[in-house]
A and B are shown apart, each in its own frame.
Chain A
Amino acid sequence: MNESLYRTMYLIRRFEETVLAEFARGAFSGTTHTYLGQEADAAGVLAHLSPDDLVVSNHRCHGHFLAYGGDPRSLFAELMGKASGVCGGRGGSQHLHWRNFYSNGILGGTLPLAVGMALAEKRKGSGAVTFAFLGDGALGEGAVYEALNFASLWSAPILFVLEHNHWAQTTPTHLALAGTMTGRFAAFGITARELNTSDVLVIHAAAAELISQVRVEGAPRALIIETERFGPHSKGDDPRPSEELERLRRERDPLAIHAPRLPAEARKAIEGEVDAVIHAAFQQALADPSPDAAALTPAIMP
């Protein structure tokens, strides 16, 4: 388990580093939101996925997608707007769908959908649970609270994973949030567990407990993870001083925290394998063709 968790986190780390570096060189278009620093959240939580489970993600979705098992080449290609992208280049960085993974870039608006999906699975008796990710910034959106009310009222089998990275773009949480995060879930009768950690094993253990409760009771739970974002919100919008970022990388790097648990050779083997995967995925995506604009079909042709 230690090795697979490390592999997932390292895969996300290398993917996102490549994204930022190659964005600067013009390989990608549009925008992106990287998951650097938060790798332990996706790796620890999504290690508990069963094959039929659903994941609903937000704008910062690359880490969730890769931890779900998504193909790095398809994701690179999607960020490049290529035909081989996850959604054929239609969605870009924050709009992904593959198997039971769904993301959308509208903060908070994804949660009512996630609750509806969880309720649909419950109605079908599939046994699937839904993992719904949101960030602290989304707590300003009213749709979140409508979704929590529905989830509790109609007993949706869903785990809300709130990644509290202290920043909504460039606005610190204390300028955006009154009250407490646990209190928000408690108000709807949803049990929430709050962690302040970048240790994937701690997250893994807490998620295990909550997911098992969701599966057994067919009712919602919430996991709040206080985490640290190492990169900018998007590409160049980070007001934090570099000393602060250096401190966070020293103290809260999920890879550095977890790496000592692996034999050095195993760790190096994983890193070598993943480096090759990322390199090949990027090169393949780069060589892939663009989508055919002539194939666009509006409902009514002008």
Chain B
Amino acid sequence: MTSVLESLNGALRRALEEDPRVLLLGEDIVDPYGGAFKVTRGLSSAFPGRVLATPVSEAGMMGVAAGMALRGFRPVVEVMFGDFLTLMADQIINHASKLGWMYAGAVSLPLVVRAPMGGRRGYGPTHSQSLEKHFLGVPGLTVLAAAPLPIGAGDPGSLLHAAIRADQPVLFVEHKLLYPLALWDGDRLAELDFTPAGADAYRLSLRAAPAPALTIAAYGYMAELAREAIVRLAYEREIFCELVIFTRLSPFDPQPLLESVRRTRRLLSVEEGTRSLGWGAGVLAAAAEGGLPLLAARRLAALDLPVPASPALEKAVLPDVDAIIQAAQKMV
């Protein structure tokens, strides 16, 4: 059994082993601490001089990494909390993502920013957000999101490893609650059909079940919650759903979604970021523009509020399995 954390750590180790141009930068990422969420644990010991503890200086480290990328290295930056991406936003949007195209393709920027996102740990309004929606649609920036998908079929380590080998900047979103989860394996997928749907998406539905009446689109940790939800919906309510999981959020390829919704004619998007003008809005717009005869479409997301620290309030703000089930029930 492999956890998401082990998968990511293994990918970083493999990338460092394979390519001397790979460097890691971030706050508190060296041993013995090994990073706030331990994703880099052991790596500074195994690769001396290539895992660089930075000052608390997000814009600086992002710019330094981009400069290194411009001059032949392949840096992987860890931002301690995804919330701090705001401090890097100028470097990401006005520099790293732009230079390749702006300089007429004469430079490449192989660079990954790993961002632990999300709430449900009571960290409060500035350490619990899912800010990726603000980086979707930035030309030149690829946004990927880890999910606990099976080894060889979208697993977080392979996704990260491919991102490090890519020649353009990648924002790599890791929901904090994913780290201890086991990757989906035979046990977890026992009653489910899991298949790739294009290059960056996957389809999950109940095996030998009636045709699904609803497509649920999700990414990241919400894919884990949606997996639980579709099983319960089937067994408890006899509502059969197809889950489409995206590992690449931007640029957004809607084909896997359209293929599914064409059959189900109902679409529910679920995300942990705030609801207004977010990922789900883009997903529903793609379905609407796809000319499909939609019977129902809904977005499930966080309430448009900061993420509260109080467990009772946080639970009310962020969507959970029950919320997915309730939303699905209203649509079928």
Contacts and interface: CB of A to CB of B under 8 A. Distances in A.
Given A109-B95, A113-B67, A120-B73, A87 B251 contact: no
A104 B65 CA distance: 17
A146 B90 CA distance: 14
Interface stretch (B4-12, B99-107, B228-236): B99-107
Interface in A224-279: none
B60 A117 contact: no
Contact of B66 (A54, A116, A121): A116
Chain A contact-residue range equals 35 or more
Given A119-B67, A120-B67, A87 B90 contact: no
Contacts of B101: 90
Contacts of A117: 67-68, 70-71
Contacts of A159: none
Contacts of B104: 87-88, 90-91, 97
A192 interface: no
Given A106-B90, A112-B64, A112-B67, A300 B95 contact: no
Nearest to B90: A109
B123 to A, nearest CB: 25
Interface stretch (A43-51, A147-155, A166-174, A205-213): A147-155
Given A88-B104, A149-B57, A121 B95 contact: no
B139 interface: yes
A120 B94 CA distance: 21
B72 interface: yes
Interface of A: 54, 87-88, 90-91, 95, 97, 102, 104, 106, 109-121, 123-124, 142-143, 146-147, 149-150, 153, 298-300
17 contacts: A87-B106, A90-B103, A97-B104, A104-B95, A106-B90, A109-B95, A110-B95, A113-B64, A116-B63, A116-B65, A116-B69, A117-B67, A119-B64, A120-B72, A143-B63, A146-B57, A146-B63
Nearest 8 pairs between A and B by C-beta?
A116-B67, A112-B63, A146-B60, A120-B71, A97-B103, A116-B64, A299-B251, A117-B67
